[in-house]
């Protein structure tokens, strides 16, 4: 990770609202895809980066909507839940995302300047169009089909529950 003082932000706190945990899950059984097998998407780590197939498809589509010269950069994806803490990452349906340039230079739109705000808007637009929802307190955290998404979208039930590996 190259975020310097921003490091550690990906250890997210649980959502401040309890409602998502009450959303029922109808697990669809979709497999996890390793992004090392998806050359269209870039990852910040060299190892295995896993996401549900339907989420991968949406990210590939979202990337085509970015302005020329920009790509998605996946900072985090599936990780088992430590105990009872629920972040969405344990479902394989949540990804931590930022933008990078085509030459690989990572953008970090967490700053407060207008350029960063515009980059966050660009990221947000592309991901919203393909059906991902943002965890409101973390601009980099997006998901589709997990409990948080179902709650935010009023979807009635989640498609993806926790995955144990």
What are the residues binding Zn ion (CB under 5 A)? 96, 141
The SS3 call for residue 54 is: helix
Q: Which residue is nearest to Zn ion (CB)?
A: 141
CA 22, distance to chain mean position in Å, is 21
Contact indicator for 50, 92 with CB cutoff of 8 Å:
yes
Nearer to Zn ion, 120 or 141 (CB): 141
Shortest distance, position 69 Cβ to Zn ion, whole Å: 26
Nearer to Zn ion, 96 or 146 (CB): 96
Shortest distance, position 126 Cβ to Zn ion, whole Å: 17
Residue 81, CA distances (Å) to 12, 28, 42, 90 in order: 12, 19, 24, 5
Q: Which of 58, 53, 59 is nearest to 41 (CA)?
A: 59
Shortest distance, position 109 Cβ to Zn ion, whole Å: 15
Nearer to Zn ion, 33 or 114 (CB): 33
Nearer to Zn ion, 9 or 60 (CB): 9
């Amino acid at each position: 990770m190259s975020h310097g003082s921003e490091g550690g932000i990906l250890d997210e706190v649980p959502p401040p609202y309890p409602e998502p945990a009450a959303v029922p899950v109808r697990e669809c059984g979709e497999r996890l895809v390793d992004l090392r097998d998806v050359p269209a998407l870039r990852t910040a780590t060299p190892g295995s980066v896993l996401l549900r197939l339907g989420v991968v498809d949406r990210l590939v589509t979202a990337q085509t909507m970015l302005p020329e010269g920009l790509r998605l950069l996946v900072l985090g994806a599936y990780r088992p839940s430590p105990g009872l803490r629920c972040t969405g990452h344990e479902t394989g349906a949540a990804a931590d995302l930022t933008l990078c340039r085509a030459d690989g230079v990572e953008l970090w739109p967490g700053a407060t300047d207008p350029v960063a705000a515009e980059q966050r808007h660009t990221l947000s637009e592309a991901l919203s169009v393909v059906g991902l929802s943002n965890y409101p307190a973390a601009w980099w955290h997006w998901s589709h089909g997990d409990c948080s998404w179902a709650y935010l979208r009023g979807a009635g039930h989640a498609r993806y529950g926790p995955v144990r590996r």
